[in-house]
Amino acid sequence: MSINKENLNTEYPSFGNYPKLYPSEVKHWSWRHIPPNFSSFSAKFLPRGFGKSYGDSCLLEGGILLDTTQMNKIISFDRESGIIRAESGISFDELLNFLVPRGYFLPVTPGTKHISLAGAIANDVHGKNHFSAGNFGNHITKFELLRSDGRRLICSPEENKDYFAATIGGLGLSGIITWAEFKCRSSPTPYFYVENIKFRNLDEFFEINEVSEESFPYTVAWIDCTAKGKHLGRGIYNRGRHAEVGKDNIPNKSPKDGAKPFPFEIALINKATTKMFNLLWYNKQIRKKTKGISHYNPFFYPLDGVGGWNKAYGKAGFIQYQFVVPLASGKETVRKILEKISSSGLSSFLVVLKTFGDIPPSGMLSFPMRGITLAVDFAVSRNSLALCRELDVLVNEGGGRLYVAKDSRMKGADFRRYYNNYEEFSKYIDPKITSSFWQRIQEK
């Protein structure tokens, strides 16, 4: 059968749409009790969720993508303990629709709810509450891992501990997660008490952050990366906690959910529009501080409100540069990086700054460490790729590392230095599984 490569990439790109790498075939797996016949596979494969990873960790050029998103059933839920077991392709959106009316919430969530349970495990994702709750993997109690030789391993902190640690943050390489179980946190309502505080520079960010982490479990800041000089690192600090019945004024009707589609496929994000956006966004909040009650959708998932916004970067796609640096060197590194970005003329409309706490991760290759993390979007161009190489030098000097879920360009030597469990991890890779990311980082 001939393969229409254009269509494959349209249906199975990465979120940043860069690099463009085509699988030879896509297979779907929908019945967890009946495994695929791996011995009939003509090439290596990679399990795939919703493709919300930005770069090539969810791609496999010339190989088979095994789409697991049709395995999306809830298997069991214990109302007392809040432990839920579900098939691995279920989305966070579907989980929230089930959990929230029952008074529970996800223990950790990234900035989109359109990811799969397995994708959240394979990248050991973090959210606004890293300092208070750790990564998603810290809340996993058990999962089943299917290896291509047909073995089904039950993995938990007690059973098959090594596979447990290799699979959390294991980039889908240790086998296919068929179902997983995790502990939810209680949340009496779908609402959050939220405060937004304008800060004038980086020093003010660190002052606000220090006091906020004492009383708010969720914090994050948006940065205006076009600001320079005494305004360098200015932005809006966002902090929140679960709303409390009797204390907070909770609306009795939920707002309508549903993303407005992004209407164009042309590059609308450029130097002029980004500068304008940063200026308007910083100044949209006139008062120093605002507060209110927010539904979980705008609080956690503001970008999900604009369906397909990633297309605004145009056909060349975009990259998200996300690094973490240890606290000691972190402030200086972040300052130098923001200076480099603002003087490069390559601005970004999405720049997010936050701190990670010191809860040890469960995975061998988990990204977060105690420190400061910054995520910046850039349209792909020769200039932005050159800028990223300059930023790499600063991240490396600061003892930091880059996040694989967002990556499409880090060097193999850097990866192996950042993730020093790399050799230990390699022992657990399934011989029939690989990814374009994994192949790339073997090279240099």
- 53 is a contact residue toward ligand FAD (CB under 6 A): yes
Residue with Cβ nearer ligand FAD (172 or 363): 172
Q: What is the Cα–Cα distance from 389 to 305, expressed in whole angstroms?
A: 32
**In this complex, which beta carbon is closest to ligand FAD, that of residue 118 or of residue 319?**
118
Q: Taking CB under 6 A as the rule, does residue 441 contact ligand FAD?
A: no
Rounded CA-CA distance 146/165 in Å is: 15
Which residues make beta-bridge pairs with 248?
245
Considering only 46, 269, 351, 394, the residue that binds ligand FAD (CB under 6 A) is: 46
Query: Shortest gap between Cβ of 143 and ligand FAD (angstroms)?
Result: 9
Rounded to a whole number of angstroms, the minimum distance from the CB of residue 8 to ligand FAD is 14
At closest approach, how far in Å is the CB of 247 from ligand FAD? 28
Nearer of residues 101 and 305 to ligand FAD, judged by Cβ: 305
Among 13, 19, 23, 49, binds ligand FAD (CB under 6 A): 49
Pick the stretch among 104-112, 199-207, 225-233, 329-337 that binds ligand FAD (CB under 6 A). Answer: 104-112
Interface map 391-410 toward ligand FAD (x if CB under 6 A): --------------x-----
* Near ligand FAD by CB under 6 A: residue from 17, 56, 88, 144: 88
Give Cα separations from 291 to 192, 197, 240, 274, 277 (angstroms).
Answer: 11, 9, 9, 27, 23
Q: Please list every residue from 129 through 148 that binds ligand FAD, using CB under 6 A.
A: none
> For residue 88, is it left (φ>0), alpha (ψ between -120 and 50) or beta?
alpha
Residues 163-182 that bind ligand FAD (CB under 6 A): 171-172, 176-177
Nearest to 99 by CA among 87, 83, 88, 111: 83
- For the record, the structure tokens of 312 come out as 């605004």
Q: Is the dihedral of CA 288, 189, 81, 175 positive or negative?
A: negative
Of 17 and 342, CB closest to ligand FAD = 17
Contacts of 400 (CB under 8 A, 6+ apart): 323, 324, 325, 326, 329, 330, 333, 371, 418
219 binds ligand FAD (CB under 6 A): no
What's at 316, amino acid-wise? A
- Is residue 126 at the binding interface for ligand FAD, with CB under 6 A as the rule? yes
Q: Which of 59, 95, 100, 118 binds ligand FAD (CB under 6 A)?
A: 118
Whose CA is closest to 221, among 142, 334, 359, 56?
A: 334
- Pair 435, 56: CB distance under 8 Å: yes
Q: Which of 57, 342, 348, 384 binds ligand FAD (CB under 6 A)?
A: 57
Q: How crowded is residue 159: how many other Cβ atoms within 10 Å of its Cβ?
A: 11
State residue 63 phi and psi, 5-degree precision: -110, -165
Residues that bind ligand FAD (CB under 6 A): 15, 46-53, 57-58, 68, 88, 110-112, 115-116, 118-120, 122-123, 125-127, 171-172, 176-177, 303, 405
